[in-house]
Each structure stands twice: as C-alpha cells, then as structure tokens.
A and B are shown apart, each in its own frame.
Chain A
Amino acid sequence: MIRAVPKPLEEIIQYVNDYDKLLIAGCDGCVTVCEAGGLKEVKILGSALRLHFAQANKPVVIDETSLTRQCDKEYLAQLRDSIDNYDAVVSLACGCGIQFLADMYDTKLVFPGVNTSFMGVTEERGVYSERCQGCGTCILAETGGVCPIARCSKRMLNGPCGGSDKGKCEVSPEMPCGWQLIYERLKTLGQLDRFEKPVDPKDWTSSRDGGIRKIVREDLRI
C-alpha cells in the first residue's frame, strides 16, 4: 500500500492561515492504514487548526470529512454539493488523491496534508518499509521474491556491490543489503545457480524513464 506521513502542522497552518472556510478531507484507503490521513487524523488536524485559529481570535469554519477513496471519481463526486462552501481544501489523501481532487474541482484551492512516501509494508505498527517502486516490469520471479529495484540502494540487477558489508548496505548500518537478502532467499530455495547467469539490462521504459505512465485496459473499459 501507499505509505505517507502527516505534514508538519506548522506547514499546514502556513497554507491555510489566510482562509476563512476550510474543509479537511481524509481518505479511507491506504493513508488510513498507515494512520496519516484517515478520519481520525482529519479530526486531530481539525481540532489543532481550530485551536490555532481560536487562540489567534480568528473565526474560521473548519469542517471534516473522509471519502472512501480520493483516487476514484465516484467518491470525489460526493463533495460536489458542498465544496463551494469552502475557500480551500486540505486533503489528507496520498499525492494521487490530492491531485485527482484538484483535477475534479479545478477552481478550488487544494493543499496537501501529508507527505506521500512510498509503496511499502507494515513491519509493525508505526514501522513501514519500502517494497516496490512500480517499475512496471516485475522481476521478483528471478530474485527469490526480493526486489533489487526497491531494496538495493543502487537498484543493481547483478549485485551485490562492494558496499555490502556483513549483510548491510553502505548507505546506512541499519539498512539491509537487498542483494544479501536475495542471496539468502535463493539459498533457502536451493536456487543459488541463478547467480551464475547475469541478468540482462532492464528495459526502464516501463518505469519513469518512459515518461508519465498510463494503463489502458480495453477489457475493463465500459
């Protein structure tokens, strides 16, 4: 899932300080799971902003809502009747949701309330780590289910490099070396022979090197 962290409160205050009617819109999808942008966080931000404006003695309307998803038009459309009541919207969705909201209501000011970080997993509550960079051509079948694109700092296809030391990456002593993980996994699977054949250069056009990406599934289109 997409992982995000709440933006610093002072940054959000800076965005909204000049407006009188605000809507804080959360998203019940990924950002709820990582506790950055669901209804609970919407209420906390709303309360914090009300305290900020009240002690500044400025009357500001702050309403709160959370949509099932902000990356689907059907749910964004639920704001159609109410969005004109507000000067600006603080969206706590990921970067995708924030942009889609701004797309649909193109005359409305939309501010981000979270910093969208990566696609990752929950190692434990409050600890999230990256697992996928969405490169568009999955090679997990070749690497024992451990992705060298997301989990090797250099995105090497034929690792490890000389910076691997006792299973850790030279970038940080806490960071596991992705290729060490691949080695150990392949060893467990009895597939170490895969190390004997170099992986061919990757076609990066399915990743960001090919420009902005779009999927069109004719089989699904209505």
Chain B
Amino acid sequence: MQYPPDVRIIQVPCTGKVDIIHLLQAFEAGADGVFVAGCLEGDCHFMEGNLFAKKRVRRVKEILDKVGLTGGRIEMFNLSAGMGGRFAEIVKEMDERVRALGPSPIRASKGAAPRPTREVTA
C-alpha cells in the first residue's frame, strides 16, 4: 500500500471528537487541505460520531468558501479500519485535489495565520 508522503495523520478516538475549531486551526496553521476519515456510516462504535463529523466538515466547508480559502480543501470520507487500499486512494485523491487548488494562501503569505496575541480573561 503506497500513498503520497505529504499527509500528516492525527489520530482521534472517533471522528465525533473532531470539532469545527480543530479543523479551522489546521488551516490557520497553514494546512493546504484536511480530510476527516471516519468509519462507514452506520458503523460508528459511538453510534453517531461520524455523522456529527460530517455536519462539522460541512460547516467548515462553508466557512472556507466565505473566507476565500475554497471549501474543496476539506472533505469527509468514510471507510473501515480494514480498507487500507481505499485509504491510500483517498490520500491520492485529496493530494491531487489540493495540488490543483494550489498552496494554502495562509501558508503562502506568512507561514501561518497569527494566533490570538494574548488571552483576554473574563
């Protein structure tokens, strides 16, 4: 099984743990693209985690479109732990898609978007 090397895997217990802010922060940190690989629909060990993730990915797509980054830079895929071949295909597909979109304008402009300069405590 081979797939393009420029993908960084972040493991989570379930895609239901992936929140909107995590996905946005990946783009703030300069990611060119992000995909969420959840279990097959109906097969979530935690019942609905992958369905929650699907909705969150959809929301992030909308946000990316509105801030000028293109919603195509993020996608949700569903596959089981036994589908290694499909995983490789997905990485290749996302790699091609993101290359077609070009480097993230965030990374291209300054490495990464600035984080809050300080916490305002309430």
Residues of A near any B CB (own CB < 8 A): 8-10, 13, 23, 40, 43-44, 46-57, 59, 61-68, 75, 78-79, 82
Contact = CB atoms under 8 A, between A and B. Distances in A.
B8 interface: no
Given A9-B67, A47-B25, A48-B63, A54 B120 contact: no
Interface residues of B, number: 29
Interface stretch (B35-43, B78-86, B87-95, B108-116): B108-116
Given A44-B20, A51-B113, A59-B114, A65 B120 contact: yes
A100 B115 CA distance: 29
B102 to A, nearest CB: 12
A62 B105 CA distance: 19
Contacts of A43: 21
Contacts of A68: 122
B66 interface: yes
Contact of A57 (B21, B27, B110, B118): B110
Nearest to A47: B24
Closest 10 interchain pairs by CB? Answer: A54-B113, A47-B24, A65-B120, A55-B105, A52-B67, A50-B113, A51-B67, A9-B66, A54-B106, A57-B109
B114 A44 contact: no
A10 B63 CA distance: 9
B28 A51 contact: yes
Contacts of A50: 28, 113-115
Given A9-B67, A48-B63, A55-B69, A64 B116 contact: yes
A79 B120 CA distance: 9
Given A40-B21, A51-B64, 16 more contacts: A13-B66, A23-B120, A50-B114, A51-B24, A51-B113, A52-B67, A54-B109, A54-B110, A54-B113, A61-B117, A63-B116, A67-B122, A75-B122, A78-B122, A79-B120, A79-B122
Nearest to A48: B63
A79 B122 CA distance: 7
Please classify the interface of chain A as helix (H, G, I), strand (E, B), loop, or mixed, using the class held by over half of its residues: helix
A62 B116 contact: yes
Nearest to A51: B67
25 contacts: A10-B66, A40-B21, A44-B20, A44-B21, A44-B63, A47-B24, A48-B63, A48-B67, A50-B28, A50-B114, A50-B115, A51-B106, A52-B68, A54-B114, A55-B67, A55-B105, A57-B109, A57-B110, A63-B116, A63-B119, A65-B119, A65-B121, A68-B122, A78-B122, A79-B120
B48 to A, nearest CB: 12
Contacts of B24: 44, 47-48, 51
